[in-house]
Amino acid sequence: MQGNPPNTNISVMRLKSGHVNVYTDKKRYIENQTGEAYVVRCISYLVGKRYLLFTITETCKADRVILVCIDVKEEYERGSSAILKLWFTANDRYGVLSSMHTHLSGSFELVKHSYRVPPLSDTELACYFSAETGDGSVFTLEKKKGEGNGDVVEMVKGLHAFMVGDESVGIKLKITNDRRVGLRVEVENPMKLTMEYTNRVFSKMGQRMENEMDKNVISLYKNPMPQLQGSYPYPHNYH
């Protein structure tokens, strides 16, 4: 395997509770036996005893990006860790296909919500945190589908927020399917976010989905057909 030297940048992001060391680098590899090329971008944070590594790997073949892997790993000095793995691939019929897997060890716990409420984008929310310190991160994935064809995912948008006190360090990404070059990946540089903004973004996503589901349940409950009323009793915990 051949590759070029990594291009590493080091910066310091100043927050109210202190500073965050941010490391970014990018490298390209070529596998001689298969002819596949790999573009690897790494973004890492170091805050006290907390360490987060955000890795985006693009697999290219015949000048097309055929696979994108995103690995998010957060570690504590005490041996606890949270790993989030995502895979994206292009499909001629369904657009961008994706999967998400998590692995926790030590004191980390996970809260996860998945929403599929057409015509809104399918959304996944994952929040993992340490039961000992309360520190952790939140990740959201939105799958935007094409108009007139609810089965084709045209674009996937993601936001990862690394919580630090009453602020967070956020990374936004966007993956689209371009039939000419395969998957296109856009990753913004880490940015400082207030906790108010972060909470508003994530709570708005969940609330929008819940409201749409709520309206659907109410419309079914108010339908005058007796058999429909019998099949869909109004949930007492909605109001």
Residue 77 lies in a domain: yes
Residue 231 lies in a domain: no
Give pLDDT, residue 239.
42
Rg, Å, the chain Cα set: 21
Give pLDDT, residue 122.
85
The DSSP string of 76-128 is ETTS-EEEEEEEEEEETTTEEEEEEEEEEETTEEEEEEEE--TTSPEEEEEEE
Give pLDDT, residue 236.
42
Does the pLDDT at position 237 exceed 90? no
Give pLDDT, residue 78.
72
Question: If phi over 0 gives left and psi between -120 and 50 gives alpha, with beta otherwise, what is residue 51?
Answer: beta
Separation of CA 85 from chain center: 9
pLDDT tier for residue 202 given thresholds of 50, 70 and 90: low
Burial status of residue 97 (CB atoms within 10 A of its CB: 0-12, 13-18, 19 or more):
middle
Give pLDDT, residue 208.
62
Shortest CA distance to 178 belongs to which of 54, 58, 86? 58
Does the pLDDT at position 130 exceed 90? no
- Looking at per-residue confidence, does 203 or 38 come out higher? 38
| 36-80 pLDDT tens trace | 899 999 999 888 888 899 999 999 988 889 999 999 999 987 788
| 80-91 pLDDT tens trace | 899 999 999 988
Shortest CA distance to 36 belongs to which of 62, 57, 67? 62
Residue 232 lies in a domain: no
35: its two tokens: 């002819």
The percentage of residues in the chain with a pLDDT greater than 70, rounded to a whole number, is 79
User: Structure pTM?
Assistant: 0.78
Distance CA 90, CA 183 (A): 6
Q: What's the number of domains the chain is made of?
A: 1
The percentage of residues in the chain with a pLDDT greater than 90, rounded to a whole number, is 26
Shortest CA distance to 128 belongs to which of 32, 204, 52? 52
Give pLDDT, residue 3.
52
The residue segments making up the domain with residue 126 are 2-225
Residue 233 lies in a domain: no
- Looking at per-residue confidence, does 34 or 208 come out higher? 34
Distance CA 224, CA 234 (A): 13
Give pLDDT, residue 42.
94
Out of 38-42, 119-123, 191-195, 220-224, least confident range: 220-224
Residue 156 lies in a domain: yes
Give pLDDT, residue 129.
86
Does the pLDDT at position 221 exceed 60? no
Residue 48 lies in a domain: yes
What residue type is 124 in one-letter code?
E
Does the pLDDT at position 15 exceed 70? yes
Q: What is the 8-class DSSP label of residue 221?
A: H
- What value does the mean pLDDT of the chain take? 80
